Amino acid sequence: MSMESDLNPHEKSMQFLREICNIDGIELIDSNSIYKIIVRVRGRSGRHYEVEASRPIGLFLQTPWTTEVTGAAWKRDFDSEKTRAYTAKLCLNIHSDKEHLPVGDRLASLALSLHNDIKLAMEIPLVAQFIVCPREELYHVFKFQEELVVTQDMIDESAHDGNPQHVLDYMEEEREIEYIDFLPDFWHFDSDDEPFELDSIQTNWLQDISDDIMQRFD
């Protein structure tokens, strides 16, 4: 009997995740805890993402893993509390009918989707909004979600009025993405902070997305 066949579903899924993290642009970060798993991804757009799964401490708890996606314009924005002010949360999660899958499979799916973030942005507008948002403006954004962009000022003003719940209610439902059960094409890059060179069709698409978003705010 092989060693791999002796692995339980969680261990097999984590083995699969580690294999995915060998792809250029997808990296498994040491969290120093068995209750937290962190994967960082560089998208084809040049934007960076941190996917974190966590669960309460306790070997006998059956609490499921929860996942959270944070986006950044620069990879180094994840490195300190000061630069994390320029990151924003993205309301993304695996489709509900795939939540039974082991956490490693779910994280691998999210990582692969974010690795091809330009394609993902065609399906999920909040990803497109994040991609075209200037880094300086990310300082003011708390979360990108399907209904609206939640800014820190909105939360602060609501808290000042004594009723932050009407803003926080918008953040309860996350945008679901389909589970990826195949490996897409991958792209290679060298620089940490420079975006990929996109062909004219992709560049025009990004400009169209930017123009559309700006018109919505006019």
pLDDT digits 0-9 by tens, 25-79: 999 999 999 899 999 999 999 999 999 999 888 766 677 889 999 999 999 999 9
φ, ψ (nearest 5 deg) of residue 2: -75, 160
Length of the chain: 218
What is the token pair recorded at 112? 């692969």
**pLDDT tens, 81-103?**
999 999 999 999 776 667 778 99
Is residue 187 pLDDT above 50, yes or no? no
- The per-residue pLDDT for 202 is 45
H or E element that contains 158? helix 152-160
Helices (H), ranges, 46-151: 103-115, 117-123, 125-132, 135-138
Average pLDDT over the chain reads: 79
Domain locations in the chain as residue ranges = 4-217
By three-state DSSP, how is residue 217 classified? helix
**Alpha-carbon distance values, 32 to 22, 110, 218 (Å):** 20, 22, 46
Per-residue confidence at 178, pLDDT binned at 50, 70, 90? low
